[in-house]
Amino acid sequence: MIAYDFFTTQKLEEALDYLDRLEKVKVLAGGTDLLVDMHKKSPRLPPISYLLDISNLEVLKFIRPADHYVEIGSLITHSKLIKEPLLNHNFPLLVEAARTIGSTQIRNRGTIGGNLVNASPAADLLPPLIALKAEVVLTSKKSERVLPLEEFLAGPYKTKIEANELLTKIKIPLLGDHYYTDFQKIGRRKAMSIARLSIALVVKIDEKSIFQDVRVVPGSATPYPQSLSKVEKAIEGKSINKIDLEEIGRIISEEMISITGVRWSTPYKKPTIAILLKRSLEKVIKESKTNA
């Protein structure tokens, strides 16, 4: 049994004060990952002396436009992501990823901040947010810092958040004209499926039907979600009418294996990741031609 003292607060300043003066504090938001790990006594859990419930911090429950960004408070649930018109209009791939998470109950409890801080290799929101070049805002009692999400991740289930910091918001830069996006996921079954493999794609297709600013980020394919620069470069500059999707599939498979090495899952993931990227590219190409 894990023994700890429990604190809850409705004030951000008080939460930051707890983190500043206490040691071995674990933050509880939606609890859909943490409570399961605690129940199972997961070896990933660090020693816990205090459990700090921040679920009542209303100040961290917002979705709003800000300059050239959309800002999302870290306590926004997956269900609220799905229903938000601002996100449906600007970042449909993020909404689609949120829609695939767990069950209705999990989507109603789980938060975007918790999904990012948990940093699971299979976290559904990480690939689309990295592809969208999202940033995270980390707040302590005395300061605030901003990191690109991809830099925030330090490994599977590891991030660069400090013990005295809270992830308070996520900033997503707005995409300009001629951008297309897609999210694909394969799970063991549709209900409550943890991703066996997913992929987020963001591309610009210019007036000459050329791929620009290509961003390809898979989930569950590498130790933690990250951009795949080789396949991005292979797509960049290609015409949507001449691109060899089979060759692009081969490149992404080889890049994945160059990162992970050959593992027991490689025979399954090697062709599957190629198929997912092919599907995404076919979808955005079709949308681009429709809009031409």
Average pLDDT (266-286) is 96
pLDDT at position 292: 76
pLDDT at position 189: 47
The pTM (predicted TM-score) of the whole model is: 0.93
Exposure string over 30-67, b if 16+ CB within 10 A, otherwise e: bbbbbeebbeeeeeeeeeeebbbebbebeebbebeeee
Contact 79, 108 (CB under 8 A): yes
Residues 108 and 192 both lie in one domain: no
Residues 190 and 151 both lie in one domain: no
Where residue 143 sits, what CATH number does that domain have?
3.30.465.10
pLDDT at position 265: 86
Of the residues 154, 173, 192, the one at which a domain ends: 173
Is the predicted pLDDT of residue 59 greater than 60, yes or no?
Answer: yes
195 band by pLDDT with thresholds 50, 70 and 90: very low
Mean pLDDT of the chain: 92
Amino acid in the structure at residue 256: M
Residues 151 and 192 both lie in one domain: no
pLDDT at position 1: 52
Is the predicted pLDDT of residue 39 greater than 80, yes or no?
Answer: no
Helix residue ranges, H only, the chain: 12-21, 34-40, 78-83, 85-90, 92-99, 104-109, 112-118, 126-131, 149-152, 229-235, 245-260, 266-291
Residues 230 and 193 both lie in one domain: yes
- Burial environment of residue 262 by CB neighbours within 10 A (0 to 12, 13 to 18, 19 or more): exposed
- Range of the structural domain that residue 39 is part of: 5-53
Number of independent structural domains in the chain: 3
Is the predicted pLDDT of residue 163 greater than 90, yes or no?
Answer: yes
191 band by pLDDT with thresholds 50, 70 and 90: very low
Calculate the alpha carbon distances from 110 to 34, 106, 267 in Å.
10, 6, 32
Q: Comparing 31-40, 107-116, 224-233, 256-265, which segment has the lowest mean pLDDT? A: 31-40
Tokens 């300059």 correspond to 67
Is the predicted pLDDT of residue 185 greater than 50, yes or no?
Answer: yes
Is the predicted pLDDT of residue 47 greater than 50, yes or no?
Answer: yes
To the nearest whole percent, how much of the chain has pLDDT over 70? 95
pLDDT at position 194: 46
